[in-house]
Chains A and B, each alone.
Chain A
């Protein structure tokens, strides 16, 4: 038995392209070969540029998208295994595995009161037997995320972005989950409000023993909240390590440029630091480059990179990288 709460192996999600011509079998290779484990109580951060498959990864793990291939194991139970044709009914797991979305404006039903938004999952899973119990539970949840009973009868448009995000979190917590996919939960918030919400995620984790997959494109935030970080590029993992190790001693050429590209909020340091500017844009996942998907922007790329997919392997203890030429990367 492993000590992971969640494990995925070679998880894959390809989307067929609609409206393609006759016999057109093209697909969006949104996610390929995702393999990692998350320990109970751990936060695994996931970073990468837009379109690299973060949201797809989060949703596929929860089987909100049905995987195209691979395996998902949760708490020792196989939820999905393509090769062995296993695909269990997810309903019992919906209580344990939840998701918080990026956009606090779009993810809440504008016609429902905040109390009913938070209460809906309680109703779906028949978690309360009386009206009073339901009410108490809703108020308890609102208080847990820093809101109060007065807020229960109000509508989402009466709330600020940060407050709406709290409502989204209260809703996710309503079923007493163990594992939460947080998909860019603070990206839409003002800087001064982001810190409030980050602290709340940390407090809730401590109080409730939660396990997070924390997705964001802001590496500073991910580094702050995560125990380990996985870096994605065009649907594939390129590096995974302890969060300090990953930001301070990154090995993959993509991670290194990502780290160097972050503007440092310290003028003296910012003046000293050198950015590694990558050329060009991220290619399309419909027809990704052969071999290493990063090779079209990588300063170290050669023929081998075009011919062979680099293996994702452990280079030092707990530090995984997918690159043929780590010796060359300086």
Chain B
């Protein structure tokens, strides 16, 4: 699996990012003070439930925030660019070149009326000064790289003639055409069967070995992050509530949501039937998030202070941090005491 990368250069540096969607129903604070860094060649997993902000975080990095969304605070630095200040024309320069993305459903991102060859060659010509023949040669090279047999024949086919797994390979080929520094994969295997998923994940890790790009893997599948990521960001209601190495998150989780998530999934190797421990309650209504800790309404350990104030960041080491009052020992104890006094009155 992915070992520590030797390369220590920072590729992504997001600080205090705030991003809101100004919808007719009100402001949806999709990202609320999101900060993290990624080194070159690193594999980061982002997990969290639907609507927690995984995709929005990743897309903002490429200037792909959809209307009516707006970056309203913080800074985003990527590969030497200050993303906040970039124009659409400048984004077009880096997209597909320095950073690429693959989506859950490759059918929506491939154009049904052009052949696979057309689409790959188009991307190559956009970002290089290769001529038609050179672009075609490169396309064949790329299809071979992603494990597609008979690439010459495939180039002439249309997306609907390919299986789901094959289409995802084509998407990966397009994404890697210019050997980007960062590949964002947004649930790339959710629509695929497990045996095909295994093929695609293996391919991604192989390519990362070969090309050395960093990967942001967005998924709801804890199995996927456990097997392929070095770092994990756990998101809840537009915040990174816990961040750490894969081992930190799985073997030493500090946030109550992370703990709940790990406990709530069935294990294939369990011998006896153990009842699952679900996270009770329902996901946050992002239009009306609770005051204080957003997880409070579902948290078994919720204290009075949790309902009032957002917990500050607690660092356990250089990497591992969380935002949960239980880890603010002094504060938590004081709060518990105050709560007790109030209760005694």
Interface residues of A (CB under 8 A from B): 49-50, 160-163, 190-196, 198-199, 202, 217, 219-221, 223-225, 244, 247-248, 257-271, 275, 277-278, 281-282
Q: Decide: A199 near B250, CB < 8 A? Known: A191-B261, A265-B223.
A: no
Are the CB atoms of B223 and A191 closer together than 8 Å? no
Q: Return chain B residues, CB-CB under 8 Å to A219.
A: 194, 268
A192 lies within 8 A of B260 (CB): yes
CB distance from B274 to the nearest CB of A (A): 9
Closest to B265 in A: A265
Given contacts A224-B266, A247-B268, A277-B199, contact A217 B193 (CB under 8 A): yes
Q: Using Cβ atoms and an 8 Å threshold, which residues of chain B touch A223?
A: 266, 268, 270
B 254-279 binary contact with A (CB < 8 Å = 1; else 0): 00000011101111111101011111
A residues less than 8 Å from B202 (CB atoms): 275, 277
Question: Do residues A220 and B268 form an inter-chain contact, with CB atoms below 8 A?
Answer: yes
Contact between chains at B283 and A270 (CB < 8 Å) = no
Task: Say how far B205's CB is from chain A's closest CB, in angstroms.
Answer: 11
How long is the Cα–Cα vector from A195 to B277 in the complex, in angstroms? 7
A224 touches which one: B221, B276, B277 (CB < 8 A)? B276
Other than the given A195-B264, A261-B197, A265-B262, 4 more pairs (CB < 8 A) read A49-B193, A224-B266, A262-B223, A281-B163
> Is there a chain A Cβ closer than 8 Å to B89's Cβ?
no
B1 in the interface (beta carbon within 8 A): yes
Within 8 A of A (CB), among B96-130: none
Partner of A263 from B223, B260, B277 at Cβ < 8 Å: B223
The reply to whether A275 and B282 contact each other, CB–CB distance below 8 Å, is no
Residues of A within 8 A of B313 (CB): none
Contact between chains at B269 and A248 (CB < 8 Å): yes
Q: A160-B282, A270-B223 are in contact. Are A275 and B198 (CB under 8 A)?
A: yes
Q: State whether A267 and B226 are in contact (beta carbons under 8 Å apart), knowing that A219-B268, A277-B198 are contacts in the complex.
A: yes
Instruction: Check A220 against B220 for contact (C-beta < 8 Å).
Output: no
Docked-complex contact A224 and B273, CB < 8 angstroms:
yes
Question: B49 interface residue, CB < 8 Å from A?
Answer: yes
Across the interface, do B194 and A49 meet the contact criterion of CB distance under 8 Å? Answer: yes
- Give chain B residues whose Cβ lies under 8 Å from the Cβ of A265: 222-223, 226, 250, 262, 265, 267
Q: What are 19 A-B contacts with C-beta separation under 8 Å? A: A49-B193, A190-B50, A190-B220, A191-B49, A192-B260, A195-B264, A195-B266, A196-B280, A198-B276, A199-B275, A220-B265, A223-B266, A224-B273, A261-B195, A261-B198, A263-B227, A265-B222, A266-B250, A267-B1
Interface residues on chain B, size class: 35 or more
B311 at the interface (CB under 8 A from A): no
Contact of B193 among A192, A260, A266, A282 (CB under 8 A): A282
**Shortest Cβ gap from B282 to chain A (Å):** 5
Tell me if B246 is interfacial: C-beta within 8 Å of chain A.
yes
| Distance between Cα atoms of A140 and B273 in the complex (Å) | 29
Closest 3 CB pairs of A and B: A263-B223, A195-B278, A224-B266
Chain A residues within an 8 Å CB radius of B264: 191-192, 194-195
Shortest beta-carbon distance, A235 to chain B, in Å?
A: 15
Is B247 part of the contact surface with A, judged by Cβ < 8 Å?
yes
Task: For the complex formed, measure the closest distance between the CB of A330 and the CB atoms of chain B, giving whole angstroms.
Answer: 19
Residue from the set B223, B246, B247 with the largest chain A CB neighbour count within 10 Å? B223
Residues of B within 8 A of A (CB): 1, 49-50, 163, 165-166, 193-199, 201-202, 220-224, 226-227, 246-247, 250-251, 260-262, 264-271, 273, 275-280, 282-283
Q: With A198-B266, A247-B268 as known contacts, state yes or no: A192 contacts B261, CB within 8 Å.
A: yes
Residues of B contacting A162 with CB < 8 Å?
A: 282
**Whole-angstrom distance between the alpha carbons of A164 and B193 in the complex?**
25
Closest to A192 in B: B279
Residues in B neighbouring A257, C-beta threshold 8 A = 195
The minimal Cβ–Cβ distance linking A289 to chain B, given in whole angstroms, is 16
A203 and chain B: residue at smallest CB distance? B275
A167 CA to B192 CA, complexed, in Å: 28
Q: Is the pair B265, A191 in contact by a Cβ cutoff of 8 Å? A: yes
Task: Enumerate chain A residues within 8 angstroms of B279, measured Cβ to Cβ.
Answer: 192-193, 195-196
- Cα A144 to Cα B47 with chains together (Å): 32
Q: In the complex the two chains form, is B199's CB within 8 Å of A278's CB? A: yes
CB closest chain-A residue, reference B251: A267
Which residue of B246, B265, B270 is within 8 Å of A195 (Cβ)?
B265
| Minimal Cβ-Cβ distance residue in A for B202 | A277
Q: List chain A residues, Cβ under 8 A from B246.
A: 267
CB-CB < 8 A to B195: which residues of A?
49, 257-258, 261, 277-278
Assembly CA distance A219 to B221 (angstroms): 13
Q: Does A258 lie within 8 Å of B265, measured CB to CB?
A: no
Complex alpha-carbon distance, A49 and B227, angstroms: 21
Known: A50-B193, A220-B265, A281-B166. A199 touches B227 (CB 8 A): no
